[in-house]
Amino acid sequence: MADEDYYTLLGVDKSASADDIKRAFRKAAMECHPDLHPGDTDAEQKFKKINEAYEVLKDDQKRAAYDRYGKAAFEGGMGGGNPFGGGFGFNAEDLSDVFSSIFSDFMGGGATSSKNRTRGSDLSYHLSLTLEEAFKGCEKEIQVKTTEPCEACHGFGTSDGKEAPVCETCHGSGKVRRSQGGFLVFETVCPTCHGEGRVIKDKCSKCHGTGTQKVEKTIKVTIPAGIEDATRMRVTGAGEAGIRGAQSGDLYIFISIKDHALYQRNESNLYTMVPVSMTCAALGGKIEIPGIDGQKIEIDIKEGTQSGSEVRIKGQGMPFLKSTRRGDLYVTLRVETPTHLSKKEKELLEQFRELSGDDDCQPETKGFFEKIKELFE
């Protein structure tokens, strides 16, 4: 898994568009999301790898670097030698800039601020909704275990609650450069401050220098009307706190819609099957079903309705996202044959069979047996 190609992880070709990659990520993430596989370490590791692949492939510059150099573009040393090959006209200063760009991502996963502080980790949460909640939209309060800046040291990780002094080795950059053979210039994490740019001499007794504390937060989430299954919502800044005052991560909420007792959904349209009595189908009539909005829907049953007939009711489906328009409702009618007939009911049906024997009130039956007769002849 560790050496698996990023495109293979997401199940896309190298020519895939940004939208294709995004859709593939959503699908793959939902399949192995830790919330759906509690205690499954394999699923958790696969989820991390999928996120790692998406973080690279969704960024045009990172994707271009990966396509050319593979994972070596994000690893120290690049395996030695000149990774760019010959004939490109790079000088030492050009290469230094290239490596600086690449290693800035390597040292913080693209999550370091201008002050060399590590951005907080992103969090994920699986939220199940009923179809009615997805129809109306709603507000949900969710409980998330996360971290926030330490109260004792104000997030600095120091015993006096003040910002730590600048690292004397890297002068606050968090990085040191070294040359190899006078041509290649490598940029690595500062060994003194470990990329932080500052050195804590006396750590906070409460957070032990991390600058963060574990908490359980209640977050209110607004769900828009018409939201679809497998949608990923982002709550900016609701992830874990950044290290020593850095930017907080984000919270990603994965939406799933529960099965409904009556309706199935396809985008903004709803589908259902309704049983109709034999007499109602033959003579015509009306039936009522509850709409997804809670209002009654009256359906006209035409005389002579056949089983499997479909009725389309415009504007009774799900709302389009960020729109007042709604999809349609499709009702399939299933004509029900009566069972456990009384003696009187059987007598009446026998009379009906005698009366309709030579009539055209059952044209499909008549046509079917005519075809059979032709085959026998």
Neighbouring residues of 316: CB distance < 8 A, sequence distance ≥ 6: 270, 291, 292, 293, 297, 326, 328, 329
The rounded distance, in Å, linking the Cα atoms of 236 and 1 is: 30
- Sole residue written with tokens 């996202």: 321
Output the pLDDT for position 102: 40
The one-letter code for the residue type at 100 is: S
Higher-pLDDT residue of 247 and 254 is 254
Report the share of the chain in percent with pLDDT over 90. 45
Encode pLDDT of 115-151 as tens digits.
456 788 999 999 999 999 999 999 999 999 999 999 9
Encode pLDDT of 55-80 as tens digits.
889 988 888 888 887 887 776 444 33
Higher-pLDDT residue of 266 and 182 is 266
Output the pLDDT for position 75: 62
The rounded distance, in Å, linking the Cα atoms of 130 and 259 is: 8
Q: Are strands 175-180 and 184-189 parallel, antiparallel or unpaired?
A: antiparallel
The rounded distance, in Å, linking the Cα atoms of 345 and 2 is: 72
pLDDT category of residue 189 using cuts at 50, 70 and 90: confident
Token code pair at residue 376: 């026998």
The rounded distance, in Å, linking the Cα atoms of 62 and 68 is: 10
Report whether pLDDT(332) > 90. Answer: yes
pTM of the entire structure?
Answer: 0.58
Backbone φ, ψ for residue 352 (5° rounding): -65, -40
Encode pLDDT of 43-60 as tens digits.
888 888 888 888 889 988
Neighbouring residues of 226: CB distance < 8 A, sequence distance ≥ 6: 134, 135, 137, 268, 318, 319, 320, 321, 322, 323
What one-character DSSP code corresponds to residue 80?
S
Output the pLDDT for position 39: 77
